[in-house]
Chain A
Amino acid sequence: GDSVTQMEGPVTLSEEAFLTINCTYTATGYPSLFWYVQYPGEGLQLLLKATKADDKGSNKGFEATYRKETTSFHLEKGSVQVSDSAVYFCALSVLSGYALNFGKGTSLLVTP
């Protein structure tokens, strides 16, 4: 079935470091791809999305590009802040378009 695989954490970075969190997907059709973020003690919230190949989603300094040739949607940020410490989930939409299959999440800790 359709699924996503993301790198395991935890990832620990110093403030202002470059961030990459890898995500690859398996899908029979042409899914939309998403990154969600979960801050401590909160529910998930949408960070960015891309609905077709070569689309780039961006928000709050984070970016991810939908790469059909490598079936990837890696999350990047040029300079992380302590406030970016959270768990990041890669997800794809299933055929109905409303349900999502999530990766297992990658915990990010940014230290001052």
Chain B
Amino acid sequence: EAQVTQNPRYLITVTGKKLTVTCSQNMNHEYMSWYRQDPGLGLRQIYYSMNVEVTDKGDVPEGYKVSRKEKRNFPLILESPSPNQTSLYFCASSAATGSPGELFFGEGSRLTVL
């Protein structure tokens, strides 16, 4: 089954404690992206990657890092989380050929930073 898998689905942490949210896709997609979803603000892109070792900032990259060492994985790293990073995070992927914009989303990771 084609899917994008995120872990953990739920996490409560404290300010300053480094954490990583993993994302893995099994569709051999070149493009991967992270979004955060906040009430009244919709989805905002954090980082994206066009392929292995190619990453770039989205609209709200501050406080986040990413890496793309393998095609299937695109982890999101919060080096020193702060309460304003409390949010619902989505990973998404897409093929770089064919129909643009057909993103496949994970089920989301709800992060609370105390």
Contacts and interface: CB of A to CB of B under 8 A. Distances in A.
Contacts of A89: 42-43
Contact of A104 (B40, B90, B92, B102): B40
A98 B30 CA distance: 10
A32 interface: yes
B100 A93 contact: yes
A102 interface: yes
Nearest to A33: B101
Q: How large is the interface on B (under 10, 10 to 19, 20 to 34, 35 or more residues)?
A: 20 to 34
B42 A102 contact: yes
A93 B102 CA distance: 10
Contacts of B58: 99
B42 A46 contact: no
A34 B101 contact: yes
Contacts of B105: 43-45
5 contacts: A43-B92, A49-B102, A89-B42, A98-B31, A98-B100
